[in-house]
Structures are given as C-alpha cells and as structure tokens.
Structure 1
Amino acid sequence: MKKGILFVILLLSIVQIGLAQNEGIITSGTIIYERRTQMQKTIQEFVNLHPYMKDKSTEIMQMYNGKYKPFQVTDYVMDFDATKSYYAPAEKQPDTHQELDQMFGMPGQDNSVFTNYTDHKRLSTKSIFTTTLNISDSIEPIKWRIMDETRDIAGFECRRANGLIHDSVYVVAFYTPQIVPDMGPESFHGLPGMILGLSLPYLHSTWFATKVTPLTTTVTDSKMNKKGKTVSEKEFQSTIKQLANNMGGEDAGKYLIQFLNF
C-alpha cells in the first residue's frame, strides 16, 4: 500500500515538473519582424548587371549615397496559431521605408503570406512594380543544418541553423523552441521552433523579431487580398521571368526577382 502511495506521489511530481517546464511554451500569438535591406549594395549590384546603367555606375551611386540612408527598414506582423500563420507588412512603417519606397520600390517588400501547415498549402500575394499576383502553391521543404551558436532575440534564446533554398541560395536562421510552431517570416519554416531571426546574404537582407506577444487566436486567410489574379507557382515563375526580360537586362531582372522567390 505504502509503495502504491509513493508511486502516485512520484508520478504527480513528474507531471508537475513537466507542466512547470512547459509553462513558458507559446503556441499562438503575434510577432513583429523588422526587415533591413542594405540598399547601397542591392542597387550597386543591380546597376552593375544592367546593360544601360553599368557605364554610369559611379554617377548613380554618388547620387544615391548622397541622398538616401544605407538601409531600407520595413516592419511586418505575423499572426500564428498551432497550424497556420499570416504574415504581412505592418500598417505603420519606419521613415526609411517610406523614403526609399518613393525612389526605388523593391520587389517583395509588400509580400503577404498565409500558410496552412496542416494542408501543406500556401497562398501568397506578391507585387513587382505595377503587377500584383496571388500565388497558390504547396509548402517547399528547406534543407537545414542545426549549429551550436546561440543568441538572444526579442528576449528568447535562439539557436542557429544554416539552410539552402532553391538548392543553392544560402540562408541563416535563428529559432527558439520556446515558441513551438515550426514557422517563420515569409515562407521559412521547418525548424524545431519559431524562426525569430533570418539572414539572406545574397539579398543583403535580414529579418529579426522585435516583439513577441502571446495571444489565444485563430488565424484565417480573411485578410488576404484575393481580388487579383490567382496563379500557380509555375505560372508565377513564367510571369516574373517575362518581367525580368522587360527590365532591359536579363541578368539585372533575374537579380531583382530573387526578392520574390522565398
């Protein structure tokens, strides 16, 4: 009898310890991400690839460097629950976003993405200059390698992972297991926890969470702009390839549309 009582007490203790350890786990809420794009390098690479601009590269960059700040900063909001996420630009944007948007509207900066991880489906709205499209496709797997490096992001201890998208584009992510859905900004996912930090060196862009708010919420696609034309991923790639060719230089166009391909 005493052994039975001791076993029950021990079992309850283990359960209480488990509950205490999971007390800080977040399963739904809102995350604010700050995206920073190093525009000097971005514009320099575009100009160097453009057949009609590269000869005037020095003059163009002198004009840019003397007038604009080096980074474009854009804020995004991501609502998430256990199985879905909705990511879109914040209503209020920093001054550097507005200033640079008037001069050089970057493709991809207005992306919004609704992802249903149960169905492995994604609906994205993406703009490139005057063209806006809705893209319906499946979630693509990302090859990740978890590293030992850690850092604090928005008050959460995050661990580094190196990844590859499209077989060759290098990406660095920092995720926290304290937020359990394996999601992240844009279309990034697949780590054992929420991605709070992200770097795409090829595009000179980073995303870092500045605020995490736990909330009991259910995410839907009701905020998505569905008025535009909906296309498949294959149709989208064909469209942006044509737009790239219309920019006056295939290599320059290809460089810009990389900002839409994640």
Structure 2
Amino acid sequence: MFSVFAECGLHAQHARFISEGSIEFEKKINMFAQLKKNITEKNEVYMSKMYDQYVKTQPQFRTVKSTLLFSKDKSLYTPIPVTVTSQNSAFGDDPNNSQPNTIFTDFLSGLSIVQKKVFEETFIVKDSIRKITWKMTDETREIAGYQCRRANAVMLDSIYVVAFYTDEILVSGGPESFSGLPGMILGVALPHENMTWFATLVSDKTIDKTVLKAPVKGKPVNNKALNAKLNDIIERWGPQAKNMLKGFLL
C-alpha cells in the first residue's frame, strides 16, 4: 500500500462537528504501475519502448486535484482543471490516469448524477447512489487535521477499497462515488489499481446552496446503459481497453 497514507496526515487541528463546507482532494496515480498493465503480448514491442521512455523522463506519480462542496443533504465533486504538460498529456485518454468525473449526489433522495467523459463522448449517468458494503476496522489515521477510522470493501466485484472516514463531518459522502460510511470519507486507496485520493484541506465555510447543482451536459444514460456501451468498446478494442474499464466505472 502506498506510503502516501503516512504522508497525507497534517498536524492535528481538532475540528468541531460540521455539516457543510468544502474539501480539496488530491488523486495520486502510480503511472509506472499503470502503464506496465497496458503491455500485452500483441503490443509488447512498442509499448515496452514507450514504458521505458516514460520511466526515464517522467515522475512515477501523477497528481490531479478536485473539490468537494457539501451540505447536509447534497454534494458536488468537481475536477480542478490543470494546465496540459508533458506529464499529464501522455496517456490522458485512460480514465485511470486522470480525474474525469463531475458528480452530484442527493443523499435525501439517494440519487447520483455523474457527468462522465468516455473518449469523445460525454454522458450524464443518472442512477441510485452506489451501495458499498463496508467492513469496519479499529485502525485510525489523521488526515487533513481529522482523526479518521479505516473501513474496507470490495466493489464492482473485484476492486479492493481502503477508506478512512471522520465522524466529525456529519455527511456520508466522499471523493468520486465513494460514500456510505457514518461520516465523510477523507482518504481512499485502491492498492491493486495503484491510485489514492486524500483530502489536503477541509473548510467549514458556509456553502451557497445554489452552486450544488447537477451537471446537465451529456447524453442521458443509467449505469446499465453505460455498462453496455463500455462492453461494446472493450469487444472492439481488445485487452488494452479492458484495462480502462474499471477507470470508467469508478
């Protein structure tokens, strides 16, 4: 598991219980591990050369940022735009290596609305909030000044998830579509997928509720329709596209 667990905790600043505010998240991706997964028997000759060149010229970890605005019953998770550089432009079509989703969650109605880009198409995925069966542990970590408790889960049949949540933030949300714990999730690691999300700053400022709006631009689908679209892509593109499937489904 990434040493980032130990690095992401800031010095404790005991927080009062809050139910609205904003959180800045950093997603870190182990690019060396991600790119190695894309090497197959069919593409080994040229992909191995690309991998070796990347390792020589680029940092091992790519970092992308996002903001989560939340009230007691809604949240909006939005990527922070980045300036395109040689680091973040390479392999940018792979959702595992980027931060492509805008996610609106209505905790009262149990509704999730996600604006998701799949290659050249943009979708609005409207469906129920993803249900994750969490198993609590006694392990704790400090993240962004909050004491957090660890929970584990397996989602999408095969993705092992480690999450850290705080009950000092009275909202059952988190980064991306991770939620369902008795408090806000401030840290997530997918050890076998080589990526993590950690809060770097939490603010308990009052949120203008008018900004907590669902994205609207894109082709409307539900999860079932999106999965059918993705499976069609995999059948046409082969093993390399299969590696992207988990990233599109997160």
TM-score, structure 1 normalization: 0.83
Residue aligning to 1:155: 145
Corresponding residue of 2:64: 74
Residue 140 of structure 1: aligned partner:
130
Show the counterpart of 1:255.
243
Residue 141 of structure 1: SS of its match in structure 2?
A: coil
- Could you tell me which amino acid in structure 1 is paired with residue 142 of structure 2? D
After superposition, residues 30-69 of structure 1 pair within 5 angstroms as 30-48=22-40, 52-69=42-59
When structure 1 is superposed on structure 2, of 211-220 and 136-145 the one drifting more is: 211-220
Query: Which one has the bigger helix percentage?
Result: 1
C-alpha distance in structure 2 between counterparts of 1:191 and 1:81, whole Å: 16
CA contact (8 A) 1:29 1:216 kept: yes
Higher RCO (Cα < 8 Å, 6 or more apart): 2
Amino acid at match of 1:45: K
Match of 1:188 in 2: 178
- The residue matched to 1:240 in structure 2 has which SS? helix
The 2-side partners of 1:223 and 1:98 are apart by 31
Alignment of 1:1-262 (within 5 A): 24-48=16-40, 52-91=42-81, 93=82, 98-105=85-92, 106-107=94-95, 109-219=99-209, 224-247=214-237, 249=238, 251-262=239-250
Deviation by residue 1:5-35 (Cα, 9 ceiling, x = unmatched): xxxxxxxxxxxxxxxxxx8101000000000
User: Do the aligned residues in 2 keep the contact of 1:183 with 1:194 (CA within 8 Å)?
Assistant: yes
C-alpha deviations, 1:84-105, integer Å up to 9, x for none? 11001114x3x7x743332111
Which amino acid in the other structure matches residue 148 of structure 2? C
Deviations along 1:151-192, one digit per CA (max 9) or x if unpaired, are: 110011111111111233210000011101011001111111
Q: Could you state the TM-score of these two structures normalised by the residue count of structure 2?
A: 0.87
Identity percentage of aligned residues: 34
Structure 2 CA distance for partners of 1:202 and 1:131, relative to 1, 3 Å: farther
| Alignment deviations for residues 183-240 of structure 1 (CA, whole Å, 9 cap, x no partner) | 1001111111100000012321100000000022254576544222111111111111
Structure 1: runs of 5+ lacking an equivalent: 1-22
Question: 1: CA distance between counterparts of 2:212 and 2:205?
Answer: 18
> CA–CA distance in 2 between the matches of 1:31 and 1:197?
11
Q: CA, structure 1 residues 221+242, in 2 after alignment: closer, same or farther (shift >3 Å)?
A: farther
The answer as to whether partners of 1:203 and 1:259 remain within 8 angstroms in 2 is no
Q: Does the C-alpha gap of structure 1 residues 98 and 203 become closer, same or farther in structure 2, counting only changes over 3 Å? A: farther
* Structure 2, unaligned runs of 5 or more: 1-14
RMSD: 2.1
Give 1:173's aligned amino acid: A
Structure having the higher Rg: 1
Larger deviation: 82-91 or 29-38? 82-91
Q: Which amino acid aligns with 1:102?
A: S
